[in-house]
């Protein structure tokens, strides 16, 4: 299949009756660019109407991961320049996330290795999601002064108890068992059996194939932490959440507090508000529309540029957040992220 955005970063082929999407930027951990999003969307549009295609499979090239997220260096440059390129990218990316969730044919995602940010968006909304012992699934946006997007607030707001709030604020990556527990994945398959699984999917429907390959994953860590997680993250504010974590005896709770305090104070408060508002929304599309407003407004936040600078550009891992403390972030500062976009902006839809 050829397309207008064919630069080799997304490979498309049909294996038997399965349409296969391969994200092909292994050096960049298959990070998504705008042309890649458009290419995937074109393929899904064509295959939805193709009677020769019964199901779709998405995977990442190389052995390091499905996808580490969006191209945040490009977002950094865009935010500094004040252009609209990131908003255009997010609009198409979020539309793709919604399409995946409503896709009329089985959509199988191999969530092997690193699956973060935008990688979650092109996988966890599918209806057949496979993790391996190498999987590391995360929404780490608060660490770059950003807020979970690509439907992340919708997914994390629907985990058992308050596990999703813990993951959103800390940015922690989880392995296979915890991804299954949180509802971010459906099946565990050992990584060395993935080639056999892909070959089998070329000939048979996913629902018939997966039971032959699914196994029990190595133990996770979140189930044992439910008591302190559900108690601490039920607090009304980020400050109170941190206070409850620090008051616990469990070392994991204290480590969680330290992880949170290293993140952007503004992004933390906006994330908590976004999660709780998304929980009250009636659909993924409504949550994506909210995320689009938050993401576009984040482009004007100094923490997004600073966070990406510290983590990706200069790599000094020493962001200087503004404001620097949770106490300095006012309610009005949070509300600005949820404000309607400028008149004439098409928004998400």
Active site residues: 70, 118, 141, 149
In terms of phi and psi (left: phi > 0; alpha: psi -120 to 50; beta: otherwise), the region of 183 is left
From CA 119, how far away is CA 245, in angstroms rounded?
Answer: 29
Q: Which of 198, 170, 168, 202 is nearest to 184 (CA)?
A: 168
The answer to whether the CB of 112 falls within 8 A of the CB of 168 is no
From CA 175, how far away is CA 191, in angstroms rounded?
Answer: 13
The answer to whether the CB of 162 falls within 8 A of the CB of 234 is yes
DSSP letters of 188-234? E--GGGHHHHHHHHTTS-HHHHHHHH--PPPP-STGGGHHHHHHHTT
From CA 150, how far away is CA 294, in angstroms rounded?
Answer: 12
From CA 94, how far away is CA 348, in angstroms rounded?
Answer: 8
The answer to whether the CB of 275 falls within 8 A of the CB of 168 is yes
């Amino acid at each position: 299949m050829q397309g207008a955005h064919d630069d080799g970063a997304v490979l498309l082929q049909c294996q038997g009756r399965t349409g296969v999407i391969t994200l092909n930027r292994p050096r960049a951990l298959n990070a998504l660019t705008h042309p890649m999003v458009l290419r995937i969307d074109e393929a899904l549009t064509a295959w939805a109407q193709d009677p020769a295609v019964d199901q779709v499979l998405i995977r990442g090239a190389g052995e390091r991961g499905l996808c580490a997220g969006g191209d945040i260096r490009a977002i950094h440059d865009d935010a500094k320049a004040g252009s609209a390129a990131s908003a255009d990218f997010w609009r198409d990316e979020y539309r793709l996330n919604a399409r995946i969730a409503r896709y009329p044919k089985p959509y199988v995602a191999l969530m092997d290795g690193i699956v973060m940010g935008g990688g979650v968006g092109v996988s966890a909304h599918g209806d057949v999601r496979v993790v391996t012992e190498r999987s590391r699934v995360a929404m780490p946006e608060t660490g770059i002064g950003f807020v979970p997007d690509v439907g992340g607030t919708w997914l994390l707001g629907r985990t058992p108890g308050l596990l999703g709030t813990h993951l959103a604020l800390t940015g922690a990556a989880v392995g296979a068992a915890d991804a299954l527990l949180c509802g971010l994945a459906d099946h565990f398959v050992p990584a060395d059996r993935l080639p056999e699984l892909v070959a089998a999917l070329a000939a048979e429907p996913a629902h018939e194939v997966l039971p032959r390959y699914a196994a029990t994953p190595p133990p996770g860590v979140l189930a044992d932490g439910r008591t302190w997680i559900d108690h601490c993250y039920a607090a009304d504010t980020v400050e109170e959440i941190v206070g409850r974590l620090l008051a616990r005896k469990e070392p994991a709770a204290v480590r969680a507090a330290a992880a949170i305090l290293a993140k952007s104070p503004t992004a933390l408060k906006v994330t908590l508000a976004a999660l709780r508002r998304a929980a009250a929304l009636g659909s993924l599309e409504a949550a994506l529309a909210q995320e689009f407003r938050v993401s576009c407004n984040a482009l004007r936040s100094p923490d997004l540029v600073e966070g990406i600078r510290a983590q990706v550009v200069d790599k000094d891992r020493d962001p200087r957040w503004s404001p620097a403390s949770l106490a300095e972030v006012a309610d009005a500062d949070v509300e600005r992220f949820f404000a309607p976009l400028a008149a004439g902006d098409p928004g998400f839809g």
